[in-house]
Amino acid sequence: MSATRAAALLLTAALLSGASAATASPAVAAPAAATAAPVAAAVPADVDDFSFDSFTGEYTLGRDAEGRSTLTTVETLVARFPETDQNRGIRRSLVDTYDGHPTGLDVVSVTDETGAPRPYEEDSEDGVVTLTIAADDYVHGAQTYVITYTQHDVTRFFADTDADEFYWDVNGTDWAQPFARVTADVQLADGLAEHATGAVDAASGAAGADGPATIAETDDGWRFEATALGPGENLTFAIGFEPGTFTPRPDGFTAMPFPALSAGGALLALLAAAWAGVVRRRRLRDAPGRPVIVPEYLPPKGVGVLLASVIGKHTTHAIPAEILQLAVLGRVRVVEVEKSGWLSSKPAFELEYVDERDRRTRGLRDVPPTADDVEALHALFGATLTPGERRELGSSDQKAAKRLHELVVAVARRATSDGYRRKLPGGLIAGVLAAATAAFAAAFVFAVVSFDQAVGGFWPLATLIVAGLAFVAAIVLVAKVPLESKGAELRDHLAGLELYIRLAEKDRLAYLQSPQGALREPVAAGDPEQVLQLNERLLPWAVLLGQEKAWTAELGRAYERLGRQPDWYTGQHAFNAAVFASAIGGMSQSVTSTYSAASGGSAGGASSGGGGGGGGGGGV
């Protein structure tokens, strides 16, 4: 065979191997040498240390009523095992895909040479059907295994040969055993012989090789044979037929009902999402709030940080904000302590409970604690509040974390009973979610089946994406607790508070002196002490609203201007605004992390391993 023809064979094999042996196992497509190497090397005997006297495949190729190809295969394998107690049988891997689609491989029987059934187990994975044919006792010497199975859609049209072809691997390249002789007897069913072009080819060897193989015409087909095949070597043959001899396997949208069923699921998911939109608009809409958001320089009266975090959807920062609220209001003191460990780079903090009798006059900070504040104190320090008692922040205090989490959940529950949030229409929402889930599940299941059966083209993927997006949209649309008038007012107050915190310092001072600012609790904008107390009081709210970095920096500078440091915070060094801002930020991060953690071959292009079928096996 010329070098040019050999190159053509290898190219043809490379183009075709993806539809057959490449799917059989990791060793089928290319690395046959890798399969053979362990056998060639001196290794201890194992279940793969035996050989085959022969492999004979009898293939009956036909057509069904629709003109699609059918194949009945009878494989006869004669294995020769050692006389030692090593093997109980063989393992045969059969490829159930061809040209990217399943062939519907169905195992009819597994027997010995007399027709007596042999026990076997069948497993299917990634387009490969594996038969484990094993006896209870060890087997020795020559043992015959006869495997009968059927397939369909095993032919295809090749443009390079302008022919329909039956291009098939016989034993396959995924064997660790040698074969003394491999034979393929192909019988053409009635009516097929007249469509055969007479172009046949065969090859043997490792994947991509074009080793010698004999071809002999028989009364009803052809016989192909190769001898002395080593581990990982295979016999491949190709038979050409006139174009149109076989009806191609339909793979369009209507080839099977599964793509249409998947599309139906996607349509239902869209309807469920539309239903969710109607429910949100009619049943989950918030009560009307303020027509215009104006800056607010005071926290909402009678409302704790935890309740505000629920209404304003800022629960991520709720715990550090609550701790700072307790500190600013004089209930606890944040104490920076010495770092532990040589490699520690972050400051450590403790929380100290403060006796109320030790408080000085707090001016604008003299605000009575809410019920949530008191519960938070007990969650941190326990049932008994002892002045001077300390709790370490940043450690994995699972009990405190659990109590704080339960407190936030309870506050969220009370938000409904206290008239801030409206009770959810549970049955209606459950119906929406059930419809969306069922629709998405249907679209998903039928899309997966379409992928497995290689039908529908890109439509199954498109319907799956649409159904997934509709499913997520339905969940998002109904994942809302509507606000009553009190809740809407609190939400808008928080928005005004954030607006004020974001203002530049000069703009905030100007607002305090404006007519709008004067309508609220009066603050002497020219009095640094009052401005400082106001800014202190807003610190927990700045943390809650995600503005802690800028606010702590400004608060630190205000302390420096007055030549003092906060009475609710004790540092390790002389007060410095930058260090203070960094420490509060570090404390907030530490608290957040701690307390949230709890919760074509017929024209002479055949090459071994290039066709369908094949596979491999081994010993057991």
Task: Convert the pLDDT of each residue in 392-410 to its tens digit.
Answer: 876 656 788 888 889 999 9
**Is the predicted pLDDT of residue 273 greater than 70, yes or no?**
yes
How much is the mean pLDDT over the chain? 83
Q: Where are the domains of the chain?
A: 3-41+49-249+606-619, 303-406+503-570
Do residues 233 and 609 touch, judged by C-beta distance below 8 A? no
**Ranges 52-61, 255-264, 367-376, 441-450: which has the least confidence:** 367-376
CA-nearest of 551, 566, 419 to 498 is 551
The label of the residue with tokens 């927990």 reads 540
DSSP secondary structure string for all residues of 142-156: EEEEEEEEEEE---E
Task: Convert the pLDDT of each residue in 36-54 to its tens digit.
Answer: 344 444 445 689 999 999 9
Confidence (pLDDT) at 595: 61
Give the integer Cα–Cα distance in Å for 190 and 200: 19
**Ranges 334-343, 352-361, 373-382, 597-606: which has the least confidence:** 597-606
Work out the angle between the directed axes of helices 257-283 and 459-478 (0-180°, nearest 10): 20
Confidence (pLDDT) at 541: 93
Confidence (pLDDT) at 256: 85
Query: How confident is residue 360, by pLDDT bands cut at 50, 70 and 90?
Result: very low
The predicted model gives 9-19 an average pLDDT of: 37
Q: In what order do the strands lie in the sheet with 87-95?
A: 120-125, 128-139, 87-95, 616-619, 174-175
**Ranges 443-457, 532-546, 581-595: which has the least confidence:** 581-595
**Ranges 90-104, 372-386, 586-600: which has the least confidence:** 586-600
Task: Convert the pLDDT of each residue in 471-480 to its tens digit.
Answer: 999 999 999 9
Task: Convert the pLDDT of each residue in 210-225 to its tens digit.
Answer: 899 999 999 999 999 9
What is the CB neighbour count within 10 angstroms for residue 295? 20
Confidence (pLDDT) at 512: 65
At 135 the three-state DSSP class reads strand
Residues of the chain with pLDDT > 70: what percent?
80
Enter the CATH code of domain 3-41+49-249+606-619: 2.60.40
